[in-house]
């Protein structure tokens, strides 16, 4: 079923789990992630970023993903990742997305707050939740203009209160597009931010975070954990291996099943590390009238 971001993030802090937001670039990885979520009976967030939407127009991608979400047996959120401006966000809402991010992280904080407030006004008028970012998460290998700037707890608190966003991306040591899980996460900074911000936090660049730290993050206020590179590597490496193994293959449909299976397994692995299956157990417990505390 198509789910709203605020619904899947509702209990993540209290019940110590997080939901992954997987970057999606087409039908194949979207299907693999939904299959992973259905396999575990857990919610999932499918996110499309700028390069994905340069490849498939938002109106086309939105309609496909929303249809896939509606047909899924688990809650699936369709999310705009790193939305650059008002127009991009408006188009995603029009295309049926159930969650949007506006990324004003490269702007001075006053301007980031002002522009985020405009987006919140627009999105909330359609009952669509908004993620925004304060501080900045850089990229390992490209987009050099994007700085690495850890989030100050003061800015995080002010930003959350003044903008009215539904969840907040903060920078605490991760980096986008890491291929190894070697990011140094500042758990002291996380504690300081958690102490003053009462909405769910969002982690960007989570491919670079170790399994042990992903488990630890599930028990913090991070409710949404963005993972892209890990799945792209799983898909791309499978394709390369198959093409190299069979020099005459040219039909891409023959190449997709193994690549999709690798993405599904990678997604399952991250969901288990983040304890996402707690969401399902909790729903069942709640509908049975059992206490979960
Ligand atoms: O917004 C998406 C992400 O932050 C994904 O980062 O590709 O480094 O896992 P990643
Ligand atoms: Zn990101």
Domain assignment present for residue 148? The answer is yes
Domain assignment present for residue 248? The answer is yes
Q: For the chain, how many structural domains are there in total?
A: 1
Q: What is the pairing mode between strands 19-23 and 76-83?
A: unpaired
Ligand 1 nearest-atom number relative to CA 21: 2
For 133-160, b/e burial (b = at least 16 CB within 10 A) is: bbbbbbebeeeeebeeeebbbebbbbbb
Q: Whose atoms come closest to the Cα of 177: which ligand?
A: 1
For the cut 90, the answer to whether the pLDDT of residue 66 exceeds it is yes
Average pLDDT over residues 260-289: 84
Average pLDDT over residues 129-148: 94
Domain assignment present for residue 89? The answer is yes
- Least confident range of 186-190, 229-233, 270-274, 278-282: 278-282
Average pLDDT over residues 207-220: 98
pLDDT at 292: 41
| 53, 79, 205, 273: residue to mutate for ligand 1 pocket, most atoms within 8 A of CB | 205
Ligand 1 neighbour 176 (Cβ under 6 A)? yes
Domain assignment present for residue 176? The answer is yes
Structure tokens at 144: 């050099």
For the cut 80, the answer to whether the pLDDT of residue 291 exceeds it is no
- 């079923």: which residue's tokens? 1
The enclosing domain of 67 has a CATH number of: 3.20.20.70
The 10s digit of each residue's pLDDT in 162-196 is: 999 999 999 999 999 999 999 999 999 999 999 99
Domain assignment present for residue 258? The answer is yes
Structural domain of residue 60, as residue ranges? 5-287
Average pLDDT over residues 75-90: 98
| 250 alpha carbon – ligand 1 mean position (Å) | 30
Mean pLDDT of the chain: 95
Domain assignment present for residue 292? The answer is no
For the cut 90, the answer to whether the pLDDT of residue 114 exceeds it is yes
246 is catalytic: no
Domain assignment present for residue 293? The answer is no
| 83 alpha carbon – ligand 1 mean position (Å) | 14
| 139 alpha carbon – ligand 2 mean position (Å) | 9
Average pLDDT over residues 89-115: 98
In the set 11, 81, 103, 166, the catalytic residue is: 81
Cα 154 to Cα 11: distance, rounded to the nearest angstrom: 25
Ligand 1 nearest-atom number relative to CA 204: 4
Domain assignment present for residue 276? The answer is yes
pLDDT at 144: 87
| 11 alpha carbon – ligand 2 mean position (Å) | 23
pLDDT at 94: 98
Average pLDDT over residues 97-116: 98
Percent of the chain with pLDDT strictly greater than 70: 96
For the cut 80, the answer to whether the pLDDT of residue 282 exceeds it is no
Cα 116 to Cα 164: distance, rounded to the nearest angstrom: 9
Average pLDDT over residues 80-106: 98
Ligand 1 neighbour 133 (Cβ under 6 A)? no
Q: Output the pTM of the full model.
A: 0.95
């Amino acid at each position: 079923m198509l789910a709203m971001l605020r619904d899947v993030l509702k209990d993540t802090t209290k019940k110590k789990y997080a939901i992954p937001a997987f970057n999606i670039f087409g039908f194949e990885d979207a299907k693999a992630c939904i299959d992973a979520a259905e396999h575990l009976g857990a919610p999932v967030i499918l996110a499309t970023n700028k390069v994905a939407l340069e490849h498939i127009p938002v109106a086309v991608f939105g309609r496909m993903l929303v249809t896939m979400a509606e047909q899924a047996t688990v809650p699936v959120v369709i999310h705009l990742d790193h939305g650059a401006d008002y127009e991009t966000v408006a188009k995603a809402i029009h295309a049926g997305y159930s969650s949007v991010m506006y990324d004003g992280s490269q702007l001075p904080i006053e301007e980031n707050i002002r522009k985020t407030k405009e987006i919140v006004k627009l999105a909330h008028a359609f009952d669509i939740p908004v993620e925004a970012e304060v501080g900045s998460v850089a990229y390992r290998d490209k987009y050099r203009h994007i700085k690495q700037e850890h989030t100050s707890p003061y800015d995080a608190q002010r930003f959350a209160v003044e903008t009215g966003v539904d969840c907040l991306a903060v920078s605490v040591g991760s980096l986008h597009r890491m291929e190894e899980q070697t990011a140094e996460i500042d758990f002291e900074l996380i504690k300081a931010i958690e102490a003053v911000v009462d909405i769910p936090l969002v982690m960007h660049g989570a491919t670079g975070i170790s399994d042990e730290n992903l488990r630890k993050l599930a028990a913090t206020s991070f409710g949404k954990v963005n993972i892209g590179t890990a799945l792209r590597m799983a898909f791309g490496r499978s394709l390369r291996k198959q093409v190299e193994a069979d020099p005459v293959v040219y039909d891409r449909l023959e190449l997709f099943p193994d690549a999709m299976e690798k993405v599904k397994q990678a997604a399952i692995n991250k969901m288990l590390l983040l304890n996402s299956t707690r969401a399902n157990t909790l729903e069942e417990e709640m509908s049975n009238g059992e206490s979960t505390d």
